[in-house]
Amino acid sequence: MRAASAIAGSFIFLAVAPGGVAGLVPWLLTDRYRLPWSRLPGFVPVGWLLVIAGTAILLHAFARFALEGLGTPAPVAPTERLVVGGIYRHVRNPMYVAVLSIILGQALLFSSWTVAAYLEQNLITQARILRRRSSLSTPRR
């Protein structure tokens, strides 16, 4: 896959998958971000820090897939090369970490138990996915 196609495919997947999970659903759960800011000390700055850091990690991870791996995170257009540089040198699944950080940040920003429950569901789902992937890749004895 050419770099331009990988970038375009990654951008589309970014908008649909993490954009939906970490953007659209919390946006809807917080009444389109019309909920008041949290009044608990420290929640708003920590929430913003998590959202900004998570977004930066997510964009970096997607860029690595497109530029280093020459593919996308989408299963229909996988990378041609294994991505091991940048954040992938330190974290095996930085996109999962980033998405969860963004959702947690939004739960703190609005002191929203609804978004916190949504975060919990995402944690459970992602843990099951990772457990399943590792069991598929582990040879049986």
Query: What is the phi/psi pair of residue 82, to 5°?
Result: -70, 130
Residue 138 has pLDDT above 90, yes or no: no
C-alpha 36/C-alpha 33 separation (Å) is 8
pLDDT tens by residue, 54-102: 999 999 999 999 999 999 999 999 999 999 999 999 999 999 999 999 9
Write down the pLDDT at residue 63: 95
Structural tokens at position 115:
């978004």
Give the residue, 133 or 20, on which the prediction is more confident. 20
**Residue in the structure block whose two tokens are 């998570």:** 54
Per-residue confidence band for 2, with pLDDT thresholds at 50, 70 and 90? confident
Structural tokens at position 94:
């930085």
Residue 140 has pLDDT above 70, yes or no: no
Write down the pLDDT at residue 62: 95
Do residues 77 and 9 make contact, with C-beta atoms less than 8 angstroms apart? Answer: yes
Per-residue confidence band for 139, with pLDDT thresholds at 50, 70 and 90? low
Average pLDDT on 46-55 reads: 98
